[in-house]
Each structure stands twice: as C-alpha cells, then as structure tokens.
Structure 1
C-alpha cells in the first residue's frame, strides 16, 4: 500500500503530463522570432557594407570625372535598387548611395540604408 504522500505525488505527476509539450509550443514562436531578428540584422549589416563599398567606389569614379550615368550604373550593379546622389564641397567629391532593405524582418519594416564617401576632386 502506498503512503498518502506517495499517492499525492503520483497523482500530481499524472496531472502534469503534457506540460512540457505545452511549454515548448509556447516557447517555439518566441525562438522563431528571435531567429528572424538575428538573420535580418545580419542581412542589414551585409547590405550596409555593400553600400559603403559602392559609395567609396562611386566617389573615386566621380572624382576622376567619369560620367554620373556610368557611376550610377556601377553602383546599381554592386547593390540592387541603389540610388546615387553626389555633391562637391571643399575640394572633395562626395557620393551617397542608398537602397531599401527588401526582406528586413520579413518585409514588415520599410528600412532604407545609405552610405556616404568622399574623394579628393581631380583624382589626385
């Protein structure tokens, strides 16, 4: 014959059966959301690096007096949907390249990243 405390523990164990499955079902969406946020952050960081490279190359090309159409095409080849704008100041040619982040957080947030770089005018 089981003692009273052992019977109570046995009943409690039977009543808690399936609780791990329920806790896992509740935690799984949170883990998936964290994973999506991490992967989106990595994607945004990669896009920012490509934009910075495109801006630096565009600034150097514009400083060598290449046509703005050619430079914009090169920037678009490096980063899809890139937009190029440029200006001159204090003997420098500055290029700003911007592009929308397409799949950031599953496309829920309209994020546009940009990068600016300057080069000495005249290609010197």
Structure 2
C-alpha cells in the first residue's frame, strides 16, 4: 500500500512551486510599483512647490522617464507627473504611474 503513493509528494511539490513563484513575483512587482508611486508623488510635490516659486525643476532627475505638466488653478499651481511602466516589474510593468500635487502660487 505504501508503494502506491511513492512519488506523489514530489508531484505535488512540483505543482506547487510554480504557483509560489508566481505569487512571489507578483508581490515583488507590487512592492516595486508602490515604491515608484511614492517617488512620483515626491517629485510632483517638489515640482509644484518649485513652479509656485517661479523656478524650474527637472522631475526626470528624481524619476527616470518622468513627464511633467504644470497647470494653474486659481491661486494654485499644480504639477502632474506621469511615468510609464517599467518592464522589470513583469506584468505590473504595464501600469502607468501618475501623481499630482498643488502649491499656493507665490509661496516661499
């Protein structure tokens, strides 16, 4: 009776390992995506404050490949920073990351 189940643990292990690897890859990709979102948000805040003071700021220096758009909304100067996905994040790399921030115009 014990000989009938020989190798079943190996087969189950071989089926579980790819599933665990996929979950691990998705978790690491999500962590990279959330870190990128934080960096983009910081860049948008710095860009908005710089634009409100009337100085220029290069968001690509903080986040590679970032594009910035400045908008005026009444007394506010708003910066919208967008970064395309990265192929290193796997399937989550197709997600475009964007953040916006506003500062009072003329603020010091």
TM-score (norm 2): 0.93
Q: How many residues align?
A: 107
2:88 matches 1:99? no
Counterpart of 1:53 in 2: which secondary structure? helix
Does structure 2 retain, via aligned residues, the 8 Å contact 1:100–1:111?
Answer: yes
Gaps of 5+ in 1: 1-11
Deviations 1:66-108 (A, max 9, x none): 13xxx2x2x101101000001001200000111022122x257
Match of residue 17 from structure 1: 6
2:65 is aligned, of 81, 91, 95, to 81
Structure 1 residues 51 and 109: CA distance shift in structure 2, 3 A: closer
Aligned equivalent of 2:103: 119
Equivalent in 47, 69, 72 of residue 36 of structure 2: 47
Distance 2:78 2:69 in 1: 8
Where does the alignment leave 5 or more consecutive residues of structure 2 unmatched?
A: none
Contact kept? 2:29, 2:92, Cα under 8 Å: no
Give the structure with higher Rg (CA): 1
Bigger Cα displacement from structure 2, 106-115 vs 36-45: 106-115
Query: CA shift at 1:53, angstroms?
Result: 0.3
Secondary structure in 1 aligned to 2:77? strand
Structure 1 segments (4+ residues) deviating >6 Å = none
Counterpart position of 1:8: none
1:64 and 2:48 aligned? no
